[in-house]
Structure 1
Amino acid sequence: MTRPTARVLALLELLQTGGTHTVGELAGRLGVDERTVRRYITHLTDLDIPIRSLRGRYGGYQLAPGYRMPPLMLTDDEAVAVLLGLLTSRNGSTVAHAVDSATAKLRRVLPARLTTRLEALIHTAEFTAADHPEVTVATAVLLRVAEATREHRTLAITYTDRNGRHSERTVHPYGLVAHSDRWYLTGRDSRSDEVRQFRLDRITTATVLSETFTPPEEFEPSAHLLAALATTPYRHEVSVRVQGTAAQIRSLIPEAIATLHDINSSRTDPEPWVRVRIQAEQLEWIPPLLAGLNRPFVIEHPAELNDAVRALANRLTAAADGRTESPR
Structure 2
Amino acid sequence: MADPTSRLLTLLSLLQTSRTWSGSELAERLGITHRTVRRDIDRLREMGYPIDADLGAHGGYRLVAGTSMPPLLLEDDEAVAVALGLRTVAVHGLPGLEDAGVRALAKLSVSLPSRLRYRVRTLGATAMTWSRPSGDAVDPDVLTVLAAATASQERVRMQYEDHGGNLTARHVEPQRLVNAHQRWYLIAFDIDRGAWRHFRADRVTSLRATGVRATRGLVPEESVLAHLERSESAMAPTYRADVTLHLPLDTARARLRDYLGTGELVAEEGRTRWRSAEDTVEWLAIRLLTLDCDFVVHGPPALRAQLDSIHRRTG
TM-score by shorter chain over 0.5: no
* TM-score of Structure 1 vs Structure 2, range by shorter chain: 0.3 to 0.5
TM-score (norm: length of structure 2): 0.36
TM-score (norm: length of structure 1): 0.35
